[in-house]
Chain A
Amino acid sequence: MATGASIEAKGLTKVYGEGPSAYHALGPIDLDIAPGEFVSLIGPSGCGKSTTLLLVSGLEPQTAGTVAVDGKPLTAPISDVGIVFQDHLLLEFRTAMKNVMLQQEIRRLDRKRIEERAHTLFARLGLEGAEQRYPWQLSGGMRQRVSIARALVHDPSMLLMDEPFGALDAITRTQIRHDLEMLWLDTRKTVLFITHSIEEAVGLSDRVLVMSKGPGTIVDEIRIDLPRPRPAHLGEYPEFAAYAKRIYATFEKLGVYQFH
């Protein structure tokens, strides 16, 4: 089983376009994520959270700064990774199982081994019986679960998630948050989790990085010291209220929130 990779970024900056129409989307930011760590990036929309994910995976080139995964500087997209976006991005013409098995087909991995892993993941994610269904036959929550299975089936050392539960209802979100935490506890992959939900960030992470409005920089870093697995109702911990208060205060100070 792959252990988590470390992610290190220094002075990471992204500017889209050139000249007067150039848009400074991110940075400079520094990241130092330990192997097996669960780190959330939380910030207002347009702060460059998603850009961070694309730079860290090598899918977009950075304008300045460096990214290194497991100590190796990135020059091309990394493949030892699973990615989940807010939209499930499943292929409508493949069944749930075949969507997950796309990883095996494209990476040319051993079919039997990956199929076994896929079945295990389906069971862990409450997807039994959905294997042969097409995405349009699944609920929004199940589609996103299939998308998570697709990101994990090849046992990558890093999981990048960009607001993966953003399109789900609150009840589904709480359940899927727990299911993801349980999976993570078993495998300890490095996770970079992008969200604008304080509850998700605190509920899942070892560490929460709070970002400012665009061009985003990291303005606060909070180590979350809550026992795992964490409960559905985080409010039962007084620490949760303290963490949430600290994030709200940071956002208010930055002018993200303007309450009068």
Chain B
Amino acid sequence: MTTGARGWSIRARAFDGRVLAGIVYPLLAIAIVFGLWEGVIRLFDVPVWLVPKPSDFLGRFATELPTLAAAAWATSVRIFFGFLLGVAVAVPLALALVSIPALERGLYPVIVFLNIMPKTVIGPILIVWFGIGPMVAVLIVFLMCFFPVLVDAMSGFRAVDPRLHYITRSMGATSFQTFRHIRLPASMPHIYSGMRIGIIKAVEGVIIAEFIASNAGLGHLIMRASSYMDMPLMFCGLIATAIVALIFNAIMTLLGRVLMPWARRV
């Protein structure tokens, strides 16, 4: 019991240390950068429409919080659905491509072509099809995160040692059992790393989509602020976008622990 309690307190202390390193230091660094920024702008008397001071946009951030939160929510919903759609299509398609050689030979070049093409050029076409609204953003997010997940899922499904299939076949495993018990979990680290790249691309994609075709969301808010030369609000939008990206990143980290409880944590 005593060793258990001591083990716990050691772990708690290690946790404190990590919190210190992970939260306090970055906050300190940001505070220093903002302080220098504030000082330099005040010293040279730079007008607010050119470069706003942290005090300008941080104050604005507080007063505009409801607007920013609403825009961030709209953006987050689009990221969520676009990303979900991307993963839901990419993983089964990856399995199909890996399992059916003819399908891979036929489809893979098309997929490579679509992947190389910048996804944002589809924006104007999507506007014609779906009008200004959330659909364009969802679809661009879908396209942005679809490819990294597809490519990584394919390499994941291929990564299973063929001799392992000898063992499962000697167990009399059906192909569904092999998929469920072996191929899917074995490819999870690959799919997950595709998802991590995908979520970063998704945030980028949603903002661009909202720049070109939206009446809500952070991209729309930033674009509107830009047309009024409202520099502080644009910086508020930038910070809000960074916060949304951070939250999605944190969710991905948690998801990694849920999907891969076996992974070694350093």
The answer to whether A and B assemble together is yes
Given A91-B186, A93-B185, A93-B262: A78 touches B167 (CB 8 Å cut-off)? no
Residues of A within 8 A of B155 (CB): none
A107 interfacial contact with B, CB 8 Å: yes
Q: Closest A-chain residue to B174, C-beta based?
A: A106
Query: Do B262 and A134 touch (CB < 8 A)?
Result: yes
Residues of A contacting B169 in the complex (Cβ-Cβ under 8 angstroms)? 59, 77
A81 vs B163: C-alpha distance when bound (angstroms): 15
> Residue-by-residue, is B72-106 near A (CB-CB < 8 Å gives 1, otherwise 0)?
00000000000000000000000000000000000
- Residues of B within 8 A of A (CB-CB), count: 20
Interface string of A94-109 (1 = CB under 8 A from B): 1100000011011100
Interface SS of chain A: loop
Question: Is B225 in the interface zone, CB < 8 Å from A?
Answer: no
B22 within 8 A of A: no
Say yes or no for A85: interface residue by CB 8 A criterion.
yes
Contact status B170-A92, CB under 8 Å: no
Q: Provide the B150-186 mask, 1 if CB < 8 A to any CB of A, else 0.
A: 0000000000010110111111110001000110011
Instruction: State the Cβ distance, A18 to closest chain B Cβ, in Å.
Output: 18
Task: Give the bracket for the number of chain A residues in contact with chain B.
Answer: 20 to 34
The answer to whether A93 and B171 touch across the interface, beta carbons within 8 angstroms, is: no
Q: Which A residues are within 8 Å of any B CB, using their own CB? A: 54, 57, 59, 77-79, 81-83, 85, 87, 89, 91-95, 102-103, 105-107, 134, 136, 150
Ranked 9 nearest A-B pairs via Cβ: A79-B172, A106-B171, A93-B262, A93-B185, A106-B173, A77-B169, A59-B166, A134-B262, A89-B164
A-B pairs with beta carbons under 8 Å apart, 25 shown: A59-B169, A59-B170, A79-B170, A79-B171, A79-B172, A81-B170, A83-B166, A85-B163, A87-B163, A89-B163, A91-B181, A91-B185, A92-B186, A93-B186, A93-B188, A93-B262, A94-B262, A102-B171, A102-B181, A105-B181, A106-B168, A106-B171, A106-B181, A134-B264, A136-B264
